[in-house]
Structure 1
Amino acid sequence: MPTAASYHFPDHTPETAPEAARPTMNGVTRHFGYLPAAVARMATSPQTLEGFQKANAAFTASSLDALAREVVVLTIATRNQCHLCVAMHTATLTAQGADAALITALRAQAPLPDERLEGLRLFTLEVLATSGAVAPEAMEAFLGHGYTARNALEVVLGIGVYTISTFANRMTGAPVDEQVAAFE
């Protein structure tokens, strides 16, 4: 039986989606080898889907390394209670060979075993809690872990990107795909 979310946000295919969403859906399918349900539902708004994809590409191209980006993403995903993002990015971290203790701590919203990454996690939470008006001490602590002013703005970018994703996934009721279900 369909849920209220699936009634309003169907699992589009490239054939049923609004035409403007189709190129993005096809690109995502090529990248992942399947069409994630989150993308199928977000395709209801081609602009939201395209905006997320373009912003995510910019975040991926930022100067934060892959592990740092995933710390930002999982910090947002757990804070925003997006079960789908938690599963997907747990899978990503696992594929990257990240330490199991790091993944467990991120998922539990607990202090990270790596001091530098914990500084990034705390800074991300501070940016969220203060809507960007971070205290000078928080900025100094972040910079003291070897991050830069550029990195601080890239955290803001990551927050923006994954606010789109987590909010859209929760609103649409996007389920965890079979391909990442083991990481739920």
Structure 2
Amino acid sequence: MTVFPVHSAGSAPQQSQQPLDELRQRVGFIPNLAATMAEAPTTMDGFNQLQRALAHSTITAAEREVVGVTVSVANRCPYSVAAHSAFAARAGVSPEVIAALRAGKDDLPEEKAAALSAFTKALLRSGGLVDRAEIDALLGHGYSPAQVLEVITQAVYTTMANWVANATGAPLDDALAAHAWTA
């Protein structure tokens, strides 16, 4: 047996069962990543709460997924690149933007997506020590100061998922297989 089991709703620790069920209702299935996180109820609950909060942010689902793919590529996380690519497609991100993000390109075919990705890369590269010009560049594309903070929250959430997926080797779900990616 692996060190990190992929739980079912029934095999997960009791405190993880409700967050897993909430996630299943939102996403339509229980992703293997969450089923792996369920081993630690604190981790599962934190992941679920951040996801729920981000669903109410003022940046769109598509914008959150641009950040998600950017972070996942930077963290070399095959599981999360596949997941965020699938969710980006579902949220209406163009195939051209998704392909460019997956390739780690800086030059994206859509200006706002390019601005989000550039800010996210600067955030990751600097450990959050972005300079005022990088913030101003995002603000200059119509984002508010609150939305800059929401982008940071999305990057944190995605990094958490990346690190868990990379550390545990959570297997890619069949539902995400069409978006498989290798670093």
Under a length normalisation based on structure 2, what TM-score does the superposition of the two structures give? 0.92
* Matched residue, 1:99: 94
Q: Which amino acid in the other structure matches residue 150 of structure 1?
A: A
Counterpart in the other structure of 2:170:
174
- What TM-score do you get using the length of structure 1 for normalisation? 0.91
Counterpart secondary structure, 2:5:
coil
**Where do 5+ consecutive residues of structure 2 fail to align?**
none
Q: Point out 4+ residue stretches in structure 1 off by more than 4 angstroms.
A: none
Partners of 1:52 and 1:161 within 8 A in 2: yes
Which residue of 2 is the match for residue 65 of structure 1? 60
Considering only aligned residues, what root-mean-square deviation do their CA atoms show, in Å? 1.4
Q: 2:115 aligns with which of 101, 106, 119?
A: 119
Query: In the TM superposition, what is the alpha-carbon distance from 1:14 to its structure 2 partner?
Result: 2.3
Cα deviation, residue 93, structure 1: 1.9
| Counterparts of 2:72 and 2:167, CA distance in 1 | 14
What is the CA–CA distance in structure 2 between the aligned matches of 1:35 and 1:70, rounded to whole Å? 19
* 1:30–1:116 distance in 2 versus 1, CA, 3 Å: closer
Shift of 1:141: 1.3
User: Partners of 1:27 and 1:116 in 2: how far apart?
Assistant: 31
- Tell me by how many angstroms 1:75 deviates: 0.6
Q: What's the CA shift for 1:126? A: 1.0
Aligned-residue identity in percent:
34
1:78-103 C-alpha deviation (Å, 9 max, x unpaired): 11111111111211122233211111
Q: Which amino acid aligns with 1:32?
A: V
Matches within 5 A, 1:1-150: 7-110=2-105, 111-150=107-146
- How many residue pairs get aligned? The number is 179
Please give the per-residue CA displacement for 1:23-79, whole angstroms capped at 9, x wherever unaligned. 112222333333221111110101101101101111221111121111111111111
State the alpha-carbon separation in 2 of the partners of residues 141 and 148 from structure 1: 11
- Deviation for aligned residue 1:15: 2.3
Tell me, what secondary structure is at the counterpart of 1:39? helix
C-alpha contact 2:7 2:36 (8 A) present in aligned 1:
yes
